[in-house]
């Protein structure tokens, strides 16, 4: 039996945004290359955990839905994150658990019900040639993904897995209920204040952390715009400097932009600070028009929160059997 990757799923209908994502591409930002990777690190990590994958395995990120995949062999998969109306041959499939597909069965995604992005994982991760050390697909830079060129999935494409392929799992695994975010609840996003926060007016700082912000429709994997009170700063454009994941830039229109995984590597707008990694994950699941709240968070608490989050993800399943 061949030990190389084998086709597991064929794309028979392409959604608007579906791409392979791992933990991201690191060590290359000095070359102007962004990190990519799963924008909801929480859901991506749990999907891989259900399949017993080590941190960094490539999963499929499905945004908005509209995708149909047909199995070419027996498969056990895990689905976490948003409820995109997933079905197997028309029968509803809930997220945050493992499930099986038989050859010829069709896994479909309709439209967002709760959240925006779902993650589909398989044992060993979906296979593709790494580009600069990562399989993360970044369309703008034409890097990574299932084809090495960062493209979104299209009709006729195929997703590959390691061979030999394990078939049926003995039982269903589910993510513990306390680890499943309630996307119906308003998102409260922790923000670590940055060095430039003192440049904003007192009124702007009050509004930043006391007003509701609305997720703008002009948002993508590069950044999410927030609409609300106009924030003013005593500084104009700055000398461009490195931009971290979650950086909250405030351009001249006074409306913040939260920069995500496909962001530019440098920027010159003043910044309120940086959202924590888990706050970025939660924001990535907010639909346009949803309201969010920013809350200042000390750096030490943000670091402790992230370390606590990472503890379960050692590569062996940590979930509930049903």
Same domain as 19, residue 147: yes
**pLDDT tens-digit map of 10-42:** 999 998 999 999 999 999 988 999 999 999 999
147 within some domain: yes
**pLDDT tens-digit map of 183-198:** 999 999 999 999 899 9
Residue (of 110, 128, 132, 101) closest to 62 by Cα position = 110
164 within some domain: yes
Domain boundary among 174, 207, 234: 174
**pLDDT tens-digit map of 295-307:** 999 999 999 999 9
Spatial strand order of the sheet with 97-101 comes to: 17-21, 59-63, 114-122, 75-83, 97-101, 173-174, 320-321
pLDDT value, residue 240: 86
pLDDT value, residue 239: 85
**pLDDT tens-digit map of 159-180:** 999 987 655 566 889 999 999 9
Cα separations in angstroms, 182 against 123, 177, 270? 26, 10, 32
Give 27's contacts (C-beta < 8 A, 6+ positions apart).
133
Which segments within 38-132 are labelled E, that is strand? 59-63, 68-71, 75-83, 87-88, 91-92, 97-101, 106-108, 114-122
CB 29: neighbour CB atoms within 10 A? Answer: 17
Rg (CA), the chain: 20
Domain boundary among 174, 204, 236: 174
Same domain as 84, residue 198: no
Same domain as 123, residue 201: no
Same domain as 155, residue 14: yes
Same domain as 128, residue 55: yes
1 within some domain: no
Mean of all residue pLDDT scores within the chain: 93
pLDDT value, residue 198: 93
Residue 86 DSSP code: -
Domain boundary among 112, 144, 174: 174
200 within some domain: yes
If pLDDT is split at 50, 70 and 90, which confidence band does 317 have? Answer: low
Average pLDDT over residues 43-68: 97
pLDDT value, residue 96: 98
55 within some domain: yes
Give the Cα separation of 71 and 104 in Å (integer).
5
If pLDDT is split at 50, 70 and 90, which confidence band does 238 have? Answer: confident
Using CB atoms within 10 A of its CB, is residue 138 exposed (0-12), middle (13-18) or buried (19+)?
buried
Same domain as 150, residue 11: yes
DSSP states of 106-141: EEE----SEEEEEEEEETT--B---BTTB---BTTT
62 within some domain: yes
**pLDDT tens-digit map of 213-232:** 999 999 999 999 999 999 99
Average pLDDT over residues 265-277: 95
Same domain as 277, residue 298: yes
Q: Residue 1: is its pLDDT beyond 60?
A: no
- CATH, residue 257: 2.40.100.10
Range of the domain at 147: 6-174
Same domain as 211, residue 124: no
Give the pairing type, strands 187-193 and 291-296: parallel
Same domain as 195, residue 288: yes
231 within some domain: yes
**pLDDT tens-digit map of 79-128:** 999 999 999 999 999 999 999 999 999 999 999 999 999 999 999 999 99
pLDDT value, residue 315: 54
Same domain as 36, residue 119: yes
Average pLDDT over residues 267-296: 97
Same domain as 159, residue 197: no
Number of domains in the chain: 2
321 within some domain: no
Same domain as 10, residue 158: yes
Contact 159, 152 (CB under 8 A): no
Average pLDDT over residues 304-314: 91
């Amino acid at each position: 039996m061949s030990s190389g990757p084998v086709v597991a799923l064929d794309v028979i209908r392409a959604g608007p945004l579906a791409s392979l994502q791992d933990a991201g591409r690191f060590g290359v930002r000095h070359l102007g290359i962004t990190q990519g990777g799963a924008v909801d690190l929480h859901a991506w990590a749990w999907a891989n955990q259900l399949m017993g994958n080590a941190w960094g395995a490539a999963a499929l990120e499905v945004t908005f839905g509209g995708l149909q995949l047909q199995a070419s062999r027996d498969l056990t998969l895990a689905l976490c994150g948003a409820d995109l109306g997933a079905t197997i041959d028309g029968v509803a499939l809930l997220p945050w658990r493992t499930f099986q597909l038989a050859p010829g069965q069709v896994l479909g995604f309709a439209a967002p019900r709760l959240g925006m992005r779902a993650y589909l994982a398989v044992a060993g991760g979906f296979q593709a040639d790494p580009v600069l050390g990562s399989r993360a697909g970044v369309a703008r830079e034409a890097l990574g993904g299932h084809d090495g060129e960062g493209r979104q999935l299209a009709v006729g494409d195929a997703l590959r897995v390691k061979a030999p392929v394990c078939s049926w799992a003995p039982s269903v695994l589910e993510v513990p209920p306390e680890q499943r975010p309630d996307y119906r609840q308003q998102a409260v996003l922790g923000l670590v204040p940055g060095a430039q926060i003192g440049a904003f007016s007192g009124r702007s700082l009050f509004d930043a952390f006391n007003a509701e912000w609305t997720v703008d429709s002009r948002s993508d994997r590069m950044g999410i715009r927030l609409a609300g009170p106009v924030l003013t700063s005593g500084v104009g454009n700055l000398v461009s400097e490195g931009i971290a994941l979650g950086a909250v830039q405030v351009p001249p229109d006074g409306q913040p932009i939260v920069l995500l995984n496909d962001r530019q590597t440098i920027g010159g707008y003043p910044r309120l600070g940086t959202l924590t990694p888990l706050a970025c994950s939660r924001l990535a699941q907010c639909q346009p028009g949803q309201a969010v709240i920013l809350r200042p968070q000390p750096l030490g608490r943000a670091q402790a929160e992230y370390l606590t989050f990472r503890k379960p993800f050692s590569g062996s399943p940590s979930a509930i059997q049903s």
